[in-house]
Structure 1
Amino acid sequence: TTSVQFYDHLIYVYAFFNGVDLIFQQLSQPRVKLHISGIVVSA
Protein backbone atom coordinates (compact mmCIF):
# COMPACT_ATOMS: atom_id res chain seq x y z
CA THR A 1 0.00 0.00 0.00
CA THR A 2 1.06 3.57 -0.50
CA SER A 3 1.60 6.02 2.32
CA VAL A 4 -1.66 7.77 1.41
CA GLN A 5 -3.59 4.50 1.68
CA PHE A 6 -1.86 3.75 4.97
CA TYR A 7 -2.83 7.17 6.30
CA ASP A 8 -6.44 6.62 5.20
CA HIS A 9 -6.55 3.27 7.02
CA LEU A 10 -5.04 4.84 10.13
CA ILE A 11 -7.70 7.57 10.14
CA TYR A 12 -10.40 4.89 9.76
CA VAL A 13 -9.06 2.90 12.73
CA TYR A 14 -8.86 6.07 14.83
CA ALA A 15 -12.44 7.04 13.95
CA PHE A 16 -13.70 3.51 14.66
CA PHE A 17 -12.22 3.37 18.15
CA ASN A 18 -13.36 6.93 18.84
CA GLY A 19 -16.92 5.74 18.08
CA VAL A 20 -16.45 2.75 20.38
CA ASP A 21 -15.26 5.11 23.12
CA LEU A 22 -18.33 7.32 22.68
CA ILE A 23 -20.60 4.30 23.11
CA PHE A 24 -18.77 3.08 26.22
CA GLN A 25 -18.86 6.55 27.81
CA GLN A 26 -22.63 6.15 28.13
CA LEU A 27 -22.24 3.13 30.42
CA SER A 28 -22.43 4.05 34.08
CA GLN A 29 -20.53 1.03 35.43
CA PRO A 30 -18.75 -0.87 32.67
CA ARG A 31 -17.24 -4.22 33.62
CA VAL A 32 -14.33 -3.69 31.25
CA LYS A 33 -12.35 -0.52 30.60
CA LEU A 34 -10.38 -0.39 27.35
CA HIS A 35 -7.44 1.97 27.00
CA ILE A 36 -5.51 2.05 23.73
CA SER A 37 -2.20 3.82 24.15
CA GLY A 38 -0.80 3.30 20.67
CA ILE A 39 -0.87 1.53 17.35
CA VAL A 40 2.01 -0.69 16.23
CA VAL A 41 2.63 -1.05 12.51
CA SER A 42 4.93 -3.65 11.01
CA ALA A 43 6.17 -3.59 7.45
Structure 2
Amino acid sequence: MTKLKLGGPLEDDKPVKPTIELPAAVFRDLKSYAEILTRS
Protein backbone atom coordinates (compact mmCIF):
# COMPACT_ATOMS: atom_id res chain seq x y z
CA MET A 1 0.00 0.00 0.00
CA THR A 2 1.30 3.46 -0.88
CA LYS A 3 1.62 5.96 1.97
CA LEU A 4 0.40 9.50 1.41
CA LYS A 5 2.83 12.24 2.39
CA LEU A 6 1.89 15.90 2.58
CA GLY A 7 4.49 18.38 1.44
CA GLY A 8 4.47 20.60 4.52
CA PRO A 9 1.97 22.16 6.89
CA LEU A 10 -1.52 22.92 5.67
CA GLU A 11 -2.10 26.65 5.23
CA ASP A 12 -5.86 26.68 5.84
CA ASP A 13 -7.25 24.48 8.60
CA LYS A 14 -10.72 26.03 8.85
CA PRO A 15 -13.68 23.63 9.05
CA VAL A 16 -15.55 22.99 5.82
CA LYS A 17 -19.27 22.20 5.49
CA PRO A 18 -19.71 20.09 2.37
CA THR A 19 -23.13 19.73 0.80
CA ILE A 20 -24.00 16.56 -1.10
CA GLU A 21 -27.03 15.27 -2.91
CA LEU A 22 -28.17 11.74 -2.12
CA PRO A 23 -30.71 9.56 -3.85
CA ALA A 24 -33.98 9.45 -1.88
CA ALA A 25 -33.50 5.75 -1.06
CA VAL A 26 -30.09 6.40 0.53
CA PHE A 27 -31.51 9.29 2.55
CA ARG A 28 -34.36 7.09 3.84
CA ASP A 29 -31.87 4.36 4.76
CA LEU A 30 -29.70 6.86 6.67
CA LYS A 31 -32.72 8.19 8.55
CA SER A 32 -33.73 4.65 9.50
CA TYR A 33 -30.19 3.87 10.61
CA ALA A 34 -30.05 7.02 12.77
CA GLU A 35 -33.41 6.12 14.29
CA ILE A 36 -32.13 2.65 15.23
CA LEU A 37 -28.99 4.11 16.79
CA THR A 38 -30.96 6.51 18.99
CA ARG A 39 -33.04 3.63 20.43
CA SER A 40 -30.09 1.89 22.06
TM bucket normalised to smaller = 0.3 to 0.5
Decide which structure has greater helix share.
1
Greater relative CO (CA pairs within 8 A, separation 6+): 1
Larger radius of gyration: 2
TM-score, L = length of structure 2: 0.44
TM-score, L = length of structure 1: 0.41
